[in-house]
């Protein structure tokens, strides 16, 4: 079985075969006689070497984008790679490979290569599918992948032609006939969709690349941080400190961390509500793998933390006072650390005033020197100091201990407790209007792969020659030769031989 784009019988002569080779290589006589820049570029992009080089460069770029952490703060690269290497990484865009200009340039070059190669081969594929050469000699037919000779000593040429055409048509072949003197040539083909499989695959890659590049240009990606009970109307794009409006509001109802029996995190979930024009239009509890999408913006669970806490002071007469205290988040050696505002809070009771402040905060408090078991807000606690004289006097402050939801502290009849913590959720906000283009490309790719591997182009040729006293029958297919052998056997039966 001969492989490749053409069966040998489609262009049987030496001259035509050379034409095919020249066309596949993007060459013609004009290339030699009239060299110019445009033709040189055309030949360059027609070259298989160019395609291999571009594929290797894209592969290297993709590997770099996998090995080097992507889209991290500059401090992380300095800490991990040092000042010199991190400077190279940031300048060359290796910290965001798949959105870099050079990666898009390589994809564009690859697209041009695919387009030029497809154009070079299109005329050839069109001829095979819709303008086949019907006339072929007996020797050319018997030289095909599968062939046979049938004696033709009686009956008319028209009768034999009718039987051949009927038999091939019944096998769902598209049949064409032509006369060569007193001989009749029959050309039959089926599975022409298989010819276009590679072209559909090339087209799908072009569409996918175009969608990817377009998505990088018109898409958006950023972050939004929402405290519990609050709303946001915008997000911060990557590498920007200017908020960009969403056109609607997103509210965080609640943030929860789910744990298993061994206190391992099994999920981070944010209960979100979307308001548009003052009306709630969407609501969903999202996690890492289940985002919320509204008006082209998709919200992914990305981060979490603590915005603040509520300290509740209950006076001896039972009257409560709730004091919100903000927390600043900073990176520590073992994860996130939360630093409370060191601002004294006055509490008035019976004409007297005393003050307290939170000296330290532990998100996962344990009664040990380590204080924190993790940076997860699982068992939050606050270290409280009180002062009943002058807040400015540092010697007057007295530590009353750690307070939590379940463990309050007592101070002169007052109960001090950590009533609640205010979580915030960190959301990645992304939108890609070109995503349907990419999906369409993948759909066309599936169609192209199916056509290439499951639809096999078959050709059957017949020459009825009274002068030679024989009928030459031949066939070719990219599939198993037995498929064509069965079709030729049907022809013998139809001819009564």
Looking at residue 392, its pLDDT comes to: 67
Q: Report which of residues 395 and 218 the model is more confident about.
A: 218
Contact (CB, 8 A) for 371 and 379: no
Q: Do residues 311 and 358 touch, judged by C-beta distance below 8 A?
A: yes
Contact 286, 359 (CB under 8 A): no
Query: Which residue in 426, 303, 306, 304 sits closest to 362, CA to CA?
Result: 306
Helix orientation angle between 197-218 and 435-454, rounded to the nearest 10 degrees: 170
Query: For the CA atoms of the chain, what is the radius of gyration?
Result: 38
For the segment 151-164, what is each residue's pLDDT rounded down to a tens digit?
887 778 999 999 99
CA atoms within a 13 Å half-sphere pointing along the CA-CB vector of 339: 6
Contact between 475 and 173 (Cβ < 8 Å): no
Distance between CA atoms of 74 and 236, rounded to whole angstroms? 17
Find all residues with CB under 8 Å of 351, minimum gap 6, and list them.
Answer: none
Structure tokens at 279: 């009306």
Q: What is the pLDDT of residue 211?
A: 92
Checking if the pLDDT of 175 tops 80, the result is yes
Q: What is the spatial distance between Cα 185 and Cα 473, in angstroms, rounded to a whole number?
A: 10
User: Is the pLDDT score of 395 beyond 90?
Assistant: no
Q: What's the pLDDT tens digit per position in 115-161?
A: 999 898 888 889 888 889 999 999 999 999 999 998 887 778 999 99
Question: Two tokens at 358?
Answer: 């939170």
- Average pLDDT rounded to a whole number, residues 178-197: 92
> What is the rounded distance in angstroms from the CA atom of residue 28 to the CA atom of residue 42?
12
Could you read off the pLDDT of 252-261 as tens digits, one per residue? 999 998 888 8
**Which pLDDT does position 13 carry in this prediction?**
37
Per cent of the chain over pLDDT 90 is 55
Question: Cα(174)–Cα(5) distance, rounded to whole angstroms?
Answer: 19
**Measuring CA to CA, how many Å separate 1 from each of 142, 475, 484, 488, 491?**
14, 10, 11, 16, 21
Least confident segment among 54-63, 70-79, 352-361: 70-79
Q: Is residue 19 over pLDDT 70?
A: no
Using pLDDT thresholds of 50, 70 and 90, give the confidence band for residue 369: confident
Cβ proximity of 464 and 183 under 8 Å: yes
Residue 66, CB-side half-sphere exposure with 13 Å CA sphere:
6
Question: Residue 352 pLDDT > 50, yes or no?
Answer: yes
pTM over 0.85: no
| 357-362-367 Cα angle (round to 5) | 105
Q: What pLDDT does 390 receive?
A: 67
Burial environment of residue 141 by CB neighbours within 10 A (0 to 12, 13 to 18, 19 or more):
buried
Q: How confident is the model at residue 4 (pLDDT cuts 50, 70, 90)?
A: very low
| Structure-block tokens of residue 461 | 């040729």
Task: Give pLDDT, residue 111.
Answer: 92
pLDDT band at 35 (very low <50, low <70, confident <90, very high): low
Please give the pLDDT value at position 128: 87
Give the mean pLDDT of 171-200: 92
Residue 16 has pLDDT above 80, yes or no: no
Residue 468 to residues 139, 148, 156, 176, 430: CA-CA distances in angstroms? 12, 14, 14, 22, 74
- Backbone φ and ψ for 131, nearest 5 degrees, come out as -135, 55
């Amino acid at each position: 079985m001969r492989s490749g784009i053409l069966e040998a019988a489609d262009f049987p002569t030496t001259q035509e075969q050379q034409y095919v080779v020249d066309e596949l290589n993007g060459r013609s006589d004009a290339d030699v006689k009239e060299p110019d820049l445009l033709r040189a570029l055309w030949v360059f992009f027609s070259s298989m070497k160019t395609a291999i080089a571009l594929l290797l460069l894209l592969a290297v770029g993709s590997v770099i984008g996998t090995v080097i952490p992507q889209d991290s703060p500059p401090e992380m690269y300095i800490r991990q790679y040092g000042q010199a290497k991190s400077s190279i990484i940031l300048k060359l865009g290796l910290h965001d490979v798949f959105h870099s200009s050079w990666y898009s340039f390589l994809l564009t070059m690859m697209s041009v290569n695919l387009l030029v190669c497809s154009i070079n081969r299109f005329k050839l594929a069109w001829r095979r599918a819709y303008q086949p050469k019907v006339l072929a000699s007996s020797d050319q037919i018997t030289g095909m992948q599968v062939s046979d000779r049938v004696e033709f000593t009686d009956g008319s040429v028209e009768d034999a032609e009718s039987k051949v055409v009927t038999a091939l048509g019944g096998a769902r072949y598209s049949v064409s006939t032509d006369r060569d003197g007193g001989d009749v040539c029959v050309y039959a083909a089926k599975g022409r969709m298989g010819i276009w499989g590679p072209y559909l695959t090339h087209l799908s890659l072009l569409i996918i690349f175009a969608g990817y590049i377009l998505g990088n240009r018109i898409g958006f990606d950023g972050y939004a941080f929402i405290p519990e009970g609050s709303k946001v109307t915008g997000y911060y794009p990557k590498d920007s400190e200017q908020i960009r409006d969403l056109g609607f509001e997103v509210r965080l109802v609640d943030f929860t961390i789910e744990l298993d029996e061994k206190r391992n995190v099994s999920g981070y979930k944010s209960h979100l509500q979307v308001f548009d024009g003052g009306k709630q239009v969407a609501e969903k509890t999202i996690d890492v793998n289940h985002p919320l999408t509204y008006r082209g913006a998709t919200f992914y669970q990305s981060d979490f933390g603590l915005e603040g806490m509520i300290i509740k002071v209950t006076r001896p007469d039972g009257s409560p006072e709730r004091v919100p205290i903000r927390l600043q988040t900073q990176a520590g050696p073992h994860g996130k650390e939360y630093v409370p505002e060191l601002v004294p809070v006055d509490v008035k009771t019976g004409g007297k005033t005393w003050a307290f402040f939170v000296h330290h905060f532990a998100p996962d408090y344990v009664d040990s020197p380590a204080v924190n078991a993790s940076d997860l807000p699982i068992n939050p606690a606050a270290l409280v100091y009180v002062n009943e004289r002058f807040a400015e006097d540092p010697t007057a402050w007295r530590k009353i201990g750690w307070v939590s939801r379940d463990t309050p502290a007592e101070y002169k009849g007052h109960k001090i407790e950590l009533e609640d913590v205010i979580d915030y959720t960190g959301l990645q906000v992304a939108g890609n209007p070109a995503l349907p283009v990419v999906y369409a490309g993948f759909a066309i790719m599936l169609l192209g792969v199916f056509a290439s591997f499951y639809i096999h182009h078959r050709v059957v040729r017949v020459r009825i020659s009274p002068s030679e006293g024989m009928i030459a029958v031949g066939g070719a297919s990219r599939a198993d030769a037995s498929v064509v052998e069965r079709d030729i056997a049907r022809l013998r039966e139809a001819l009564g031989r």
